[in-house]
Amino acid sequence: MKCLCHSFFILSVLISCISCSTPGIHKRAKEHNLKAVELINKGNYEMAEKSLELALEYNKNYAEAYNNLGVIYLRQNKLEKAEEFFSVAIEYNGDFAEAHNNLGYVYLLQGRINKAEQRFKSALNIDPAFANARLNLSRLYILTNKYEEAESQLKKLKLISDNEEVFSLLVNIYIKMQKINKAFELIDEMISKKEYSTKGYYLRGFLNLTLNRCEDAISDFTSIEREYANSIEFKTNLAASYICNKNFEQAKLILEKILSIQSDEPTALFNLGRIAYENKQYNEAEGYFEKSFRLGFGQACPYLVDVLFKNGKKDESIRISSSCK
């Protein structure tokens, strides 16, 4: 049986369902549902909805069809309608793990954290091996700063779904919990697995940069520079590692290349400001920090306040300081 299962923080949907087979469904209803899945994947929501309505003409209790109607509305950010259809799907099939998971996702988007947690747990009670629901529950705990609970869920998930995202989330949790040795151990495990090694080097480079281990960060980042050739985020981190190592010339080359691609990239502007600041070029630094701050990069605010004061603009410095968080 085909249905669509919306994944938390992931725009793609899962097609194959483990536990969502409603008994006694007419053959034609199944065909219309399958056609709807294909249409949803193509972004043709209007025709998909019509196909699902035809499916429901054969079987009013077709839980999978209601679930897929929910996915259509979820994709269009019509959360109340999505909630309605996922709820109906559960009403007709209380053991429909995917519908519980999807409804939990809607609740999470609505900020109804407790209800979201309950639905993710319901999905896991039905199907303990449902990796998507456990991932969603883990992310919920991360969002609510419940890192120990998130760690527990991700460890369970790692046993059944040993993938790059699980490793990455665990590493980030260990960093937030200041369990640096555990983070490095997990990163080393990633690097030992060929399919995850690139991401492992990236995470290790980021962690080394966070710890001001500048040369180690540069070594990690440059080892995967080819793989991330088109990533502005990667280039920004590589430039930051060169700034950390006081290699301002190399950092400036990278940052100027970023701005040639995206002239309003706030982090690159901020880092160019840092280079000018370190070289006591305060007028130049002011320009970069101001642009970065105006683009919403809050980290630039205290630097802007400082260089304004250094440049003799005391009143403006005081005025801007009230905007710093």
Establish if 213 belongs to a structural domain: no
Across residues 169-190, what is the average pLDDT? 95
Distance CA 260, CA 266 (A): 13
**Rounded CA separation 9/105 (Å):** 9
Q: Are residues 5 and 134 in the same domain?
A: yes
CA distances, 313 to each of 16, 122, 142, 306, 320 (Å)? 62, 59, 42, 10, 11
- List, for residues 17-44, the tens digit of each pLDDT value: 333 466 788 899 999 999 999 999 999 9
Give me 211's structure tokens.
Answer: 């710890």
For helices 131-143 and 164-176, give the axis angle rounded to 10 degrees. Answer: 20
The verdict on 256 and 132 lying in the same domain is: no
> How many Å apart are CA 312 and CA 265, to the nearest integer?
28
Examine the fold and report which residue of 120, 140, 160 is the final residue of a domain before the chain moves on.
Answer: 140
As for how many domains the chain has, the answer is: 2
Cα dihedral 247, 253, 257, 263, rounded to 10, equals: 80
Is residue 321 included in any domain, yes or no? yes
Establish if 163 belongs to a structural domain. Answer: no
The answer on pLDDT for 99 being more than 90 is yes
Is pLDDT of 16 > 50?
no
pLDDT digits 0-9 by tens, 224-276: 999 999 999 999 999 999 999 999 999 999 999 999 999 999 999 999 999 99
Q: Is the pLDDT of residue 158 over 60?
A: yes
Partner residues linked to 14 by β-bridges = 5
In a domain? residue 135 = yes
Residue 150 lies in a domain: no
**Would the pTM count as exceeding 0.85?**
no
Q: Is the pLDDT of residue 137 over 60?
A: yes
pLDDT in tens, 115-124: 999 999 999 9
Domain boundary among the residues 106, 140, 174 is at 140
Average pLDDT of the chain to the nearest whole number: 91
**Are both 132 and 261 inside the same structural domain?**
no
Answer whether residue 215 is part of any domain: no
Domain hosting 283: range is: 247-325
Instruction: Say yes or no to pLDDT of 7 above 60.
Output: no
Does some domain include residue 22?
Answer: yes
Which of 140, 158, 186 terminates a domain? The answer is 140
Residue 68's pLDDT is 95
pLDDT digits (tens, 9 = 90+) for 294-318: 999 999 999 999 999 999 999 999 9
Domain containing 286 — which CATH number? 1.25.40.10
Is residue 101 domain-resident?
yes
| pLDDT for residue 160 | 84
